Amino acid sequence: MMIGLVGAPNKGKSTIFSALTMLDVAVADYPFTTIKPNLGVTYATKECVEKEFGVKCKPRNGLCTNGIRQLPVNIVDIAGLVPGASTGKGMGNQFLNDLSAADVLIQVIDASGRTDIQGNLSSGSDPADEVKMLSEEMSLWLSGILLRHMPALSKRKDGVRALLGVLSSFNTSELQIISALKAASLPDSSISWDNEGTAKFSREFLRLNKHIIVAANKMDVCPQGALDAIRKKLPGCTVVGCSGAIELALKKAVKSGAISYAIGSGELEIEGEVSPEQRKALDYMNDYMKRNNGTGIQELVNEAVFRASGKIVAYPVENESKYTDHFGNVLPDALLLNTGSTTMDLARSIHTDIADHMLYAVDARTKGRLGKNHVLKDNDVVKIVSAAR
């Protein structure tokens, strides 16, 4: 899975990316700090099934702390977007091409209103305008792509298959394209749309293909009521208040040994020696987290992975009684799968040979046999029985 971190310049994207990945990237208070996309790995968090089974897990990837499993997810910090990106302004062409492969987008906005829609320092700017701008530029960009392909699309009788070829970089499906066509009230054969029809399809397709979570960043410097005001202007959008600056400062303090701070926690504990100035800063951050139930940064990832993308978690094991792999590791893998995935999909995510020679699966809870097309539920623990060697 790939999360795309997007938004206008100078909104704190690179700070949030650094906080999520602990990779050093350029951070500055001017537009286009990010020129090329930064790639990294972050973690979604979910309660592990270890407690239910009365065991202690041993993850191969990520960690499990106090029963909270960390699940690795790819994330890309994409160059800043400005109005006119669809016509190539700013880093527009690169920005829009880079985001096409993302499964879900987190759009970072400046909730404080201290930077304008271009990313320049300002005062009293409306953060909601940034969200509208992103949707408009993405729609104009996709419309431009489709219009360039319209002569070829109009010659194809199977419009869905033709569109699937044009939109292949979006990791889409025929079902998603059909749904977008229906929502836009457009035919699915001999496609020859005008500008209006192309725009309608683009909007509906992007609504289905690119779920957007809004990160209302810089909440630590926002006036009271700012988050409610933004949510009121963006009905239907998931808006998460957050502070990338505080999250990054906390991660760095953990790295230095000054504090302990669990991922997604709403509280820190001072463990090392700190100066009076450092204690004052840590007390400020601790107070912010207590009032806001954390920094909001981990909530962003979990919203993107589990709610916007609808991922479930499945635990493949080789021993359904001890919940272990071949080496005796307990619940070593927790895999993110799409809702509706089957035991065959789980087998395929482990190895193609295992899937190709799969016989059946076993539910570790009931010890019952499951067929290849059995639809998995969230937190299923499953043994795949295969003839593969």
What is the spatial distance between Cα 319 and Cα 345, in angstroms, rounded to a whole number?
Answer: 19
* Strand blocks (E) in the chain: 2-6, 38-47, 64-65, 68-77, 104-110, 211-217, 238-241, 259-260, 269-270, 311-317, 335-338, 358-363, 369-370, 380-386
Q: Which amino acid is at 238?
A: T
Those residues with Cβ within 8 angstroms of residue 221's Cβ, 6 or more apart along the chain or in another chain: 112, 114
Which backbone phi and psi does 216 adopt, to 5 degrees? Answer: -80, 90
CATH architecture of the domain with residue range 2-37+78-233? Orthogonal Bundle (1.10)
Task: Report the 3 state secondary structure along 264-312.
Answer: CCCCCEECCCCCHHHHHHHHHHHHHHHHHCCCCHHHHHHHHHHHHCCEE
What is the spatial distance between Cα 96 and Cα 50, in angstroms, rounded to a whole number?
Answer: 41
Residue 106: name the closest of 372, 336, 297, 265 by CA: 297
Domain with CATH 1.10.8.470 in the chain: 2-37+78-233
Helix, strand, coil: what percent of the chain each, to 5? 40, 20, 40
Is residue 181 within 8 A of residue 74, CB to CB? The reply is: no
Q: Tell me the two tokens of residue 199.
A: 């725009």
Domain with CATH 3.10.20.30 in the chain: 311-386
Q: What is the pLDDT along the chain (389 residues), one digit of tens a residue?
A: 999 999 888 899 999 999 999 886 444 444 444 445 688 999 999 999 999 999 999 999 889 999 999 999 999 988 766 666 556 554 445 666 678 889 999 999 999 999 988 888 888 899 999 999 888 988 988 999 899 999 999 998 899 999 999 999 888 999 999 999 999 999 888 799 999 999 999 999 999 999 999 999 999 999 899 999 999 999 999 999 999 999 999 999 999 999 999 888 888 999 988 999 999 999 999 999 999 999 999 999 999 999 999 999 999 999 999 999 999 999 999 999 999 999 999 999 999 999 999 999 999 999 999 999 999 999 999 999 999 86
**Helix ranges, 11-155 (H):** 13-21, 50-53, 92-99, 128-153
Which CATH class name applies to 311-386? alpha beta
